[in-house]
Amino acid sequence: MQSTGTEDRSGPDKTSDSDDQYGLKREAANERRGAGWWVSLRRRGRRISRLFKDSVYGSAEAAKAQAIAYRNAVIEALPPLTNHEQAVRLRSTNQSGISGVRFVDTDEGGAWQATLLTREGQKKENFPVSKFGEQAAKSMAISRRRQWLEALPVRHLAYAQHAEEVARVHFGDQLLPVRDVLPELHLSAEDVDARLAAIEARFDAAKPKRLRVRVKDYGGSRLALAVSNAAKPAKRRLIYAQLTKGDLAKALHILRQRTKAVITEFYDEAAAVWFMEAHGNALFDPQQFELSQGFNILVLLPPDMQVHTETLG
């Protein structure tokens, strides 16, 4: 098989990974980042990977659901190569311009050789130049490879049963024999780039909106408020309120108002109202606020009011 690389592995011992696990790997929390689900796939010669962190989506279950959705979007948009597509791709070292056809030196002299790798093994046949002439020998090698290729059952080079089933459902029309020995791909590199970019943009936009609010005491003389949208890159605001004569209620009132203003700036007024009603009014209540501890809270802004919160130390 002439190729510039391999697609997802396949063979008689094809893995039976289910639609719940195919292409997914769990990553435990470590010093650098929290736990999450990795999606890792190979399509059209590209290694595609993305991490869905528990902290971004609110729970391991929610992160996994998004990881599965992302994986499905990729494999439904980008089919694996077929064995015919793989067979007609040119190696970087190819000199004939025809995949699977090359000039070789034999004991009988130079010959044009046709080759094709199949599940049953390597097919190979030489056409001596001394017997057929240069042009005829090359034409016969091309014709022989075309015959082998047309007789080769077309299949997707999918690694797992789930991937193969998805490819069959969404890209069954691609399971037609290649009618030429020249490179022929169902998707160009530009098509692949465009489809991947659209998927990445869709899942970037679908990330839950997050909000981190922290209040910390500085020696009883002032309070520091930090508000962030907890994104990458993050929007941040740092605001101070003096504890004039130890007037905690006045300082908290100022920080409450500034928090509402910053959340409105980052998101909208509805988000600010929701946060204050769900968390802020209690957090900024002088009767409940612990000056020595302050607070540090990370929340997901809910499109459907199903909120997950995480209070940090």
pLDDT number for residue 296: 96
> In this structure, what token pair is assigned to residue 261?
């203003």
Contacts of 31 (CB under 8 A, 6+ apart): none
What's at 130, amino acid-wise? S
Which of 245, 251, 261, 256 shows the shortest CA–CA distance to 284?
256
What's at 113, amino acid-wise? Q
> In this structure, what token pair is assigned to residue 237?
């605001």
pLDDT digits (tens, 9 = 90+) for 11-21: 333 434 556 78
> In this structure, what token pair is assigned to residue 69?
């959705």
DSSP string, 220-249: TTEEEEEEE---SSPPEEEEEEE-GGG-HH
Q: What angle do CA 203, 208, 210 make, to 5 degrees?
A: 135
Say if residues 239 and 225 touch (Cβ distance below 8 Å).
yes
Domain parsing of the chain, residue ranges? 83-157+178-184, 209-311
Confidence category of residue 24, pLDDT binned at 50, 70, 90: very high
Q: Residue 289 and residue 256: Cα distance in Å, rounded?
A: 12
pLDDT digits (tens, 9 = 90+) for 151-181: 888 777 766 666 666 766 666 666 665 555 5
**Candidate from 74-83, 182-191, 233-242 with smallest mean pLDDT:** 182-191
Say if residues 237 and 262 touch (Cβ distance below 8 Å).
yes
Q: What is the DSSP letter of 33?
A: S
